[in-house]
Structure 1
Amino acid sequence: MDGDTAITIDVLGSLSQIDAGEWDACACPEADKGRPSDPFTTHRFLHALEASGSVGPGTGWQPRYLVARHGDQTIACAPMYAKSHSQGEYIFDHNWAHAYENAGGNYYPKLQIAAPFTPATGRRFLTRPGWEATGISALTQAAVQLAVENDVSSVHVTFCTEDEALAGEQIGLMRRFSQQFHWVNHDYADFDGFLASLSSRKRKNIRKERARAQDFGGEIVALTCDDLKPAHWDAFWQFYQDTGARKWGTPYLTRAFFDIAHETMADDMLLCLALSDGVPVAGALNFIGRETLFGRYWGCIEDHPCLHFELCYYQAIDFAIAEGLARVEAGAQGTHKLARGYMPVATHSLHWVRDAGFAKAIAQYLEGERAAVDEEIEILTGYGPFRKAHVEEQD
């Protein structure tokens, strides 16, 4: 690395302004030897969001991608957006926004470094190997400088890795803890091997739930790669619209996203469907990472007992075991996941606030929140479904 060559930063309004290979050399250099760690910061995923109109004008997610270069080489980049609201983030700051505006400030727009609509842990400061420290520092400084120059209230980095959270804290960002439920694969040979690690009562309950789901009157299939067909997305769009309307008011993703993803990301997706006389009546969409299966969206047009648990949780475990994946991330919230083998883990985010007084108040709040999250994880872990002997073995 030539220390005499300055790092330059570009702010791009579209991913079409950078070559996919150039972006992915920072976003997923590990993909040269297989899958990316996760697909959510790859050029193909972010481009699908942009090309489909899921982000961009009118969505409150205006792309402001950061690209750091050392001479002619791109050494780091970040998926950053100017946000006019706090929807689709899953690290909730609505109370911060209300307090900021009640004090006479404008909380929006803010800058968000994130994989939109995706509460999945992954790298947010995307650096070429060997440029990690330089890249994180350059991208952070650029985001803060952009916020200051444009009178923007704050910068947020959501669902970053723990290493990034620690590095960001060291250079002056505030670290926030949240909590999710993840399933961990302890080298299970099959689903029965997983069940054997549970207490008798939990084991019987899961078997009962799977039997009820399988008895819904149709067929359950798990599809990926070439098995995915355009007609499957017609069906899943109905499911997604129903869930989105109930949870968020308006679905975050457009119909066009699924068509583009079908063309560019079929190998990255696992779609679990319940078919009644060959017609899909419920489904769960997952994305496949190098070591992790990421559960993302669920929906149905018919209600059947336990079908949600089967498609979202148990089919995901089946796939992870079969493919040798280390874990399943089941998305945001949901203490009901605990009884099904998904255990509480900490997730991380970073925050910078321009107003010094407000930043001090948030820092104090985050200190108390961290203690509460730690306590909640400890308590919930104690209610986990695993046999005591299994827990002692993993410790």
Structure 2
Amino acid sequence: MVIKQINSMTEVSAVSWNNLVQNNDPFVCHEFLLALEQSGSISEANGWQSKHLLVFEQQELIAAMPLYLKNHSRGEYVFDQQWADAYYQSGIDYYPKWLNSIPFTPCQGQRILIKKGQDIPAVMKLCVDTIKEYSQQKNISSLHCLFPDYCQIEDLPQDMLIRTGVQFQWFNKNYRDFDDYLQSFTSRQRKNINKERRKVRQQGIQLQRLSGAEVTEQQWQVFYHFYEMTYLKRGQSAYLNIDFFQQLAQTMPEQILLVLANDEKAYVGAALSFIGQDALYGRYWGCYDEYHSLHFEACYYQGLEYCIEHNKQIFDSGAQGEHKISRGFKPINTYSAHWILNPDFAKLIADFLKHEQEMIQGYKQDCMQLLPFKALD
């Protein structure tokens, strides 16, 4: 096996890269990563240097690793700022660091793309050992693999520290329609959901679901204003720009689902999701004014209906959001893996993660008690 590092997705064939993608995962496909770079949503100037690894065997691409060199921790959804502060207080540089992840995307998936039939642990070890060697040579503090599939966690080298988190996801039990899904709820919770959906209709709001190919240029502009507003309300700038979304509309429209809400006079909100082989991924939402229950309708109920109608088994609605529990989203474990160059800090972080995991599991158990179903599975 021969390994090569590239500085842009333009240096690798889309066909060769996408042949390694499993489950039609939209976020690790060549088109998604290329749009991040070409739109300028990520760049060396804003702290994201593309440094992807390619693994070849007799000139055939057999593995690939999305990899970035970062000088901050923004846009990651696995928070290590305390670690960076500890380094700073000790007079040691934490940045730059290696990040094996999808920018701004807290969704689980392949983090090392490997052709079927290959020796997976051997390929992973080669990639991680290469990064370790670069780190020693260039004094780069660490490697962070965020939101890998659990099966990939098991095949990573043993000296990587595993961190556990919790997200909320929905699982399809072969529901016939949304009403059939609600039959699994307690009577009280079922009434609450129906009341929320009724409130949206009573405000004169209608919902429209569009595939990427159906979205007009004007509708993309509308969506982007809503998306940008979500960040501006928090005094922040949006991570992604309109060019990113417009490029995806051209290169992967079949994997885009846009929900638009209007009150007959104007659009009042929008939610954007991405479509995988068996999963729907809820990603971006925005609105100008607050409407009763509109967020729940656009971001969750419309997505749930889509999953049931199209036989999607999982609705991954992204990070955080305890309000999802009462709507049937179950707490599940997420993972990240970390290699730390400095042995003293590696031990300190390992101790921290051990205690953190105990709290995370307690939190997950508490969340399970709040699910709205008649009886827990």
Q: TM-score, normalised by structure 2?
A: 0.97
Give the corresponding residue for 2:51.
64
Give the corresponding residue for 1:213.
200
Matches within 5 A, 1:282-293: 282-293=269-280
Amino acid at match of 2:151: D
Give the corresponding residue for 2:4.
10
| Aligned-partner SS, 1:188 | coil
CA–CA distance in structure 2, aligned partners of residues 15 and 73 of structure 1? 17
Report Cα offsets for 1:241-294 as digits up to 9, x if no partner.
Answer: 111223471111011101101101211111111013263220111000111110
1:144 aligns with 2:138: no
1:167 aligns with 2:145: no
Report Cα offsets for 1:322-352 as digits up to 9, x if no partner.
Answer: 0001110111111111111111100011001
CA–CA distance in structure 2, aligned partners of residues 110 and 199 of structure 1? 48
Is 2:3–2:55's contact at 8 Å kept on the other side of the alignment?
yes
Give the corresponding residue for 2:184.
197
CA–CA distance in structure 2, aligned partners of residues 226 and 73 of structure 1? 33
Aligned residues: percent identity? 36
What is the deviation of 1:302? 2.4
CA–CA distance in structure 1, aligned partners of residues 172 and 319 of structure 2? 19
CA–CA distance in structure 2, aligned partners of residues 78 and 286 of structure 1? 24
CA–CA distance in structure 2, aligned partners of residues 279 and 71 of structure 1? 57
Q: What are the ranges of 5 or more consecutive residues in structure 1 without an aligned counterpart? A: 1-6, 31-35
CA–CA distance in structure 2, aligned partners of residues 150 and 300 of structure 1? 45
1:134 aligns with 2:122: yes
Is 2:160–2:338's contact at 8 Å kept on the other side of the alignment?
yes
CA–CA distance in structure 1, aligned partners of residues 222 and 259 of structure 2? 12
CA–CA distance in structure 1, aligned partners of residues 117 and 233 of structure 2? 45
CA–CA distance in structure 2, aligned partners of residues 147 and 291 of structure 1? 37
1:372 to 342, 356, 359: 359
CA–CA distance in structure 1, aligned partners of residues 218 and 131 of structure 2? 41
CA–CA distance in structure 1, aligned partners of residues 44 and 162 of structure 2? 30
Aligned residues: 376
| Aligned-partner SS, 2:19 | helix
Matches within 5 A, 1:37-186: 38-131=25-118, 132-168=120-156, 170-186=157-173
Q: Larger deviation: 305-314 or 371-380? A: 371-380
What is the deviation of 1:171? 3.0
Is 1:228–1:266's contact at 8 Å kept on the other side of the alignment?
no
Is 2:213–2:249's contact at 8 Å kept on the other side of the alignment?
no
Indicate the RMSD between aligned Cα atoms, in angstroms: 1.2
CA–CA distance in structure 2, aligned partners of residues 233 and 186 of structure 1? 33
CA–CA distance in structure 2, aligned partners of residues 310 and 281 of structure 1? 13
CA–CA distance in structure 2, aligned partners of residues 175 and 23 of structure 1? 27
CA–CA distance in structure 2, aligned partners of residues 145 and 25 of structure 1? 28
| Aligned-partner SS, 2:213 | helix
Q: Larger deviation: 115-124 or 133-142? A: 133-142
Q: Larger deviation: 219-228 or 322-331? A: 219-228
Q: What are the ranges of 5 or more consecutive residues in structure 2 without an aligned counterpart? A: none
Amino acid at match of 1:266: P
Give the corresponding residue for 1:223.
210
1:307 to 290, 294, 303: 294
Q: TM-score, normalised by structure 1?
A: 0.93
Do the aligned partners of residues 350 and 280 (structure 1) sit closer, same or farther apart at CA in structure 2, a change above 3 Å counting? same
Do the aligned partners of residues 248 and 134 (structure 1) sit closer, same or farther apart at CA in structure 2, a change above 3 Å counting? farther
What is the deviation of 1:360? 0.2
Give the corresponding residue for 1:33.
none
Report Cα offsets for 1:213-232 as digits up to 9, x if no partner.
Answer: 22222321011143222211
Amino acid at match of 1:13: N
CA–CA distance in structure 1, aligned partners of residues 339 and 201 of structure 2? 48
Give the corresponding residue for 1:3.
none
CA–CA distance in structure 2, aligned partners of residues 70 and 320 of structure 1? 39
